[in-house]
Structure 1
Amino acid sequence: MSDTTVQMPRFSLTALANPTRFLSYSGKILPWLGGAAALLLAIGLYLAFAAPQDYQQGITVRIMYVHVPSAWLAMMGYMVMAVSSLGTLIWRHPLADVSIKSAAPIGAAFTFLALATGSLWGKPMWGTWWVWDARLTSVFVLFLMYLGVIALQRAMDDPVRAARPVAILVLIGTVNIPIIKFSVDWWNTLHQPASVVRLDGPTIHPSLLWPLLVMAVGFTLLFFFLHLVAMRTEVWRRRITAMRRAGASEQRAATTPVLAE
């Protein structure tokens, strides 16, 4: 009997610390992820338009199928950045700051979409486009936090130097996430309380709930699809930048005259 043992390769998060492995794994996942997102969004849109109108809100209730998933992903995107910030500050994962930089514009886009659709929904329901209540104001602050993270990243040319201050800023902003979530419970606001994630179960009729859940899953897969695409682009961008700098250094070294001793 031979004492030689064969160790099978295992997938782990540490394996993704290698950018080359990350590019390989993500390249295989992306087609399936994108296809699943497109399929679920198509099904969700069909179910949303086929769902009955609300007895109070009428046809305007259909805005919910874009507004609610966008609001959920606005918060989830920031939490992805927060976990990545821990990866930068504690574990020093080489792709953590890439994740933050890639997630920030996507999260900002979903937050803007949540604010825009909420304004369109609020006009017929509340009679105004905007009110400075706790939920809307805290979501607007979240949008500003996204913009602040993006601005800080672009203000520093070296992504390695920018990683730590950006991660700290992201973690400071996480204080706003529970405020968004529980603002309708802590203060008296125009915004309706939670109607899907509740301890006593959803208060939405199943004919309206199922299209919303399908859209939420589709939006979530779309977020991670865009996030992976952005991370891959950022990894390649940094590689090209490093190659250009190395080439420029070699060219300067080759053209520098050597002084005779």
Structure 2
Amino acid sequence: MWKWLHPYANPEVSYHFAGKLLPWLSALAVLFLSIGLVWALAFAPADYQQGDSFRIFYIHVPAASLSMGIYFGMAITAFTSLVWQFKLADASAAAMAPVGATFTAIALITGAAWGKPMWGTWWIWDARLTSELILLFLYLGVIALQSAFEDKNLAGKAAGILTLVGVINLPIIKYSVEWWNTLHQGSTVSKLGKPSMSVDMLWPFLFCFLGFILLVSVIICIRFRSEILARNSIRPWVRTLVSAHLTQEKTNAV
């Protein structure tokens, strides 16, 4: 596997590879999100207890899951960077952090909007909500450390250490509803055996979930390519790429 991955340690190779993935990921993201959101918001049945307010589930749950998934991905890249000095891992983490912070914020906001009619309050210091808020602070801390040092290597190490320390929060978020008596409902889709929802609700959720995963992949690919260019601006291949782009723009303008 390492032999297969080794060529992608080259920034130029990774830049072009991510560029090749973008059109496919973008098309699939549009397809799955279009089908999933229309199906979920217009055709899926309302919940027998919560009514149409239940439909926020189709955004809240993917956002919450991705907030943890992206952080776990950052932890893998941080470990890779610290152990094997893989420089592109820091660029990957820098690309993922703002995306993860955004989806964590979306999860908290949609959770508050969903909780208001269900619990009668926008916020309560519930174990799941509090640990998710801590995750947002971890993301913001990582972003701050990535920007705090002019030396990108030093910034990557500092942010990587915080990322690895923060991993302990992920199982707390995941299992908080099982470990403590909380207002937040338990697992609905990820339960082993039979999910606690009808097939009519499950299928549009799966389309939405996959669509959001693809959307996140698109955004991270774009940011990853930007990070590569910013960190390799003095390299000849980057200068050639920029010159070709400027020439193309001038040609199009004429």
User: Does TM, scored on the shorter chain, surpass 0.5?
Assistant: yes
Could you tell me how far 1:162 is from its partner in structure 2?
1.1
Q: Which amino acid aligns with 2:222?
A: V
1:62 to 42, 55, 64: 55
Compared with structure 1, are the counterparts of its residues 66 and 135 closer, same or farther at alpha carbon in structure 2 (3 Å cutoff)?
same
- Could you tell me which residue of structure 2 aligns to residue 194 of structure 1? 187
Matched, 1:52 2:45: yes
- Is residue 87 from structure 1 mapped to residue 89 from structure 2 by the alignment? no
Farther-moved stretch of structure 1 (91-100 vs 234-243): 234-243
Give matches, 1:156-195, under 5 Å.
156-195=149-188
TM-score (norm 2): 0.89
Paired positions, count? 234
2:217 alignment counterpart: 224
Residue 123 of structure 1: aligned partner: 116
| Structure 1 spans left out of the alignment, 5+ residues | 1-9, 244-261
Equivalent of residue 70 in structure 2, options 55, 67, 77: 77
AA at the equivalent of 1:217? L
1:150-173 CA distances to partner (integer Å, 9 max, x unpaired)? 011111111112111111110000
Provide, for residues 158-189 of structure 1, a one-character-per-residue CA deviation record: whole Å limited to 9, x for no partner.
Answer: 11121111111100000000000000000000
SS at match of 1:95: helix
Kindly provide the CA deviation profile for residues 102-138 of structure 1, in whole angstroms up to 9, marking residues without a partner as x: 1000000000000000000000011000010100000
1:14 aligns with 2:6: yes
Give the distance between the partners of 1:11 and 1:234, measured in 2 at CA: 24
Q: Which runs of 5+ in 2 are unaligned?
A: 237-254
Q: Which residue of 2 aligns with 1:3?
A: none
Tell me the CA shift for residue 242 of structure 1.
Answer: 7.0
- In 2, the alpha carbon distance for the partners of 1:166 and 1:111 equals 18
Find the aligned partners of 1:94 and 1:154 in 2 and give their Cα distance.
16
**Identity of aligned pairs, percent?**
48
Change beyond 3 A, Cα 1:27–1:242: closer
Residue of structure 1 in register with 2:227 after alignment: 234
Indicate yes or no: 2:174 matched with 1:149.
Answer: no
Distance 1:232 1:100 in 2: 12
For residue 117 of structure 1, what is the amino acid of its counterpart? T
**Aligned CA-pair RMSD:** 1.4
Q: Distance in 2 between matches of 1:23 and 1:133?
A: 42
How far apart are 1:200 and its partner, in Å?
2.8
Could you tell which deviates more after superposition, 82-91 or 104-113? 82-91
Output the CA distance in 2 between the equivalents of 1:34 and 1:83.
25
**2:234, 2:166 → 1: CA distance?**
30
Question: Which letter does structure 1 place at the counterpart of 2:206?
Answer: L
CA distance in 2, matches of 1:115, 1:147: 15
Could you say which structure has the larger radius of gyration?
Answer: 1
Task: Give the Cα–Cα distance (whole angstroms) in 2 for the partners of residues 25 and 11 of structure 1.
Answer: 17
Of 101, 106, 114, the match for 1:108:
101
Question: In structure 1, how many angstroms separate the alpha carbons of the residues matched to 2:65 and 2:139?
Answer: 15
2: CA distance between counterparts of 1:85 and 1:149?
A: 11
Whole-angstrom CA distance in 2 between matches of 1:39 and 1:110: 20
Q: Give 1 or 2: higher helix fraction.
A: 2
Distance 2:193 2:224 in 1: 39
Q: For the residues of structure 2 that align with 1:194 and 1:201, how far apart are their CA atoms?
A: 11
TM-score, L = length of structure 1: 0.87
Q: Which amino acid aligns with 1:41?
A: L
**Structure 1: which amino acid aligns with 2:71?**
Y
Which letter maps to 1:36? L
Q: How far is the alpha carbon of 1:11 from its aligned partner?
A: 8.4
Q: Deviations along 1:217-256, whole A, 9 cap, x unmatched?
A: 111111111111101001111222678xxxxxxxxxxxxx
Q: Secondary structure at the match of 2:5?
A: coil
